[in-house]
Chain A
Amino acid sequence: MNALALLLVMELGDRFALMGVVLGVLLTAVAYTVYAERRIAAFIQNRTGPDRVGFDLIPQLKFLKGAIGLGQPLADVIKLLMKEDVVPENANKFVHALAPLISLFAALTTIAVVPYAKGVAIADVNIGILYILAITSLGVYGITLSGWASNSKYSLLGGLRSSAQMISYELSMGLAVVSVVVLTNALNMGEIVESQTSNPLNWNVCRNLLGFIIFTTAAFAETNRAPFDLPEAEQELVGGYHTEYSSMKFALFFLAEYANMIVACTVIVTLFLGGYQVPFWTDAPWFVQVGAFITKTLFMMFVFIWVRWTLPRFKYNQLMDLGWKFMLPLGLFNLLIVASTIVIFGNSLPLSILNLVLVALCVAGSFAAKPQSKMA
């Protein structure tokens, strides 16, 4: 037993430190993403947002005076920890408690294979991208089980809607990932980033713009964020799958939602935005690479929040139609053009141009197809 412990420490000393840092940063980031979302929402809707809670109890931080509400996440966490946990009498108690654990577990552990700088990752797994697909699909269980276990009609409907939505968009997400694998010939996240080089024209967002759009849209749906936040549509389903949750269990769902969003952003950055690559600076020092990675992730997170507060929610039939009749054929089509241009031309420049033309056509088509207003 001692030998095993020694072995673990010797081999994993630095990895343990990295795991601790990653989990710590991720959880802090989650707390402050909630704050950032509320501030940005307030900015978009011309309100103030949280601006009172500061760190007045800590003498060194008293100068902040809570001017911009930076203490809000901490106060929220403490409040949720101290709240009574109400479990309905008719619920299945065990599954009711298990569901939020699964949700947060799936959200947190997805990040294990994402590289933060060259050679810096918690685990350099050779099938990293499959690991990510596998663990993110576990998230469906958390939501479906919570919907069922609460024994409440709103929860059940929210859980069902959510599971149908997540499996529908998982397909187009998977197809976008396959197109990336065709381009980079690697399942390893580090190799995928390396193949994108430090020239932004080689990043997959330029080589395969269509794939990027498909993946990002599917990521919105997978993380249950607007315009795909049907599972928790307040006006019809109260709170959706977490109607019957309170206290720490609710906090776990809340954390899972934002952790999912952050992780989805890191995956998008890794697959499409060149990961840790610094533009026009090959072999940058590791801290610059980490900085580039974090900057890109923050940008994607801003896009997520921006979209949520800009677009209205879909109706359920529109959501299913988009997923099955548009995104799935589009994903197959995208894979087809990626595969055929690589065989025909041998490099990806024609693919970039073709993608640009296609996306321009799609945008033009959507404007042309916009239904004319019936108001005369």
Chain B
Amino acid sequence: MKAFTYQRASSPAEAAKLVARTPNARFIAGGTNLLDLMKLEIETPAALVDVNGLGFDKIEPTSDGGLRVGALVRNTDLAADARVRKDYAVLSRALLAGASTQLRNKATTSGNLLQRTRCPYFYDTAQKCNKRQPGSGCAAIGGFTRHHAVVGTSEACIAVHPSDMAIAMRVLDAEVETIKADGSMRSIPIADFHRLPGNTPHIETALEPGELILSVKLPKPLGGVHAYRKVRDRASYAFALVSVATVILPDGSGRVAVGGVAHKPWRVEAAEQQMAQGAKAVSERLMAGARTTEDNAFKVALVHRTLAEAMAAAKKG
């Protein structure tokens, strides 16, 4: 691991300013992903700004009937919150489907959103990777691609976003609230927060340099039947091959977001208009234009079958 300076931030504004003006500086919260990448020298920050002392560890009601989740709320606490379990069950389920309890106890809400892909070619510094080293090429294309993206890919990158939590936040239309280095604040819809790879797969989110996540806002509860179905190679503690987050209302309408298939949480609102026609129609629209390989073509069928199962279960109530 490269040497780095370490500083505990005293306020969010100060933290944002510090990271923006210090060359090669990074925030650290839980550190469960960043530290792993630093050991492998995939991440090589010269300065770490520790934001753990800043508060932002509460879940509070908003004026419009939703919840504001502090950036530093640990994944365990978010999943276990009684209001989240009751009104945003898809979010609790998604969190509990990810990682292990040891990791969820440390991992934060903001860090979970910002975690980086587990593409093995990104992790292997002997391989070409446009995300790790822009312009170097992509060893995953033409390589082993069982876990890779099938929609929204580019010639530069076929990595998937590994988060379960973010898939649920996408189906709930959450908003990411931030403070910038100049002290101004903004709210970014989760749909616009993560980017598709395009020609710049190393730029993964809409955040500007030094911009710090303060909280994630959940809109007022949608009601309906919430589910998060994750299909993986082991029964526990593995990343998704495919995951499907659904909120299905009593009239049969609903929302669907899919994980394990793209560089960002994958949701196509137009596909949700097909709910009455059944899972096949919805998944065909969702996965339209999929570019698959022999290794990962199964993902298209798996999205359809997983969604069909979720819709059938919701009907039963």
Q: Are A and B subunits of one complex? A: no
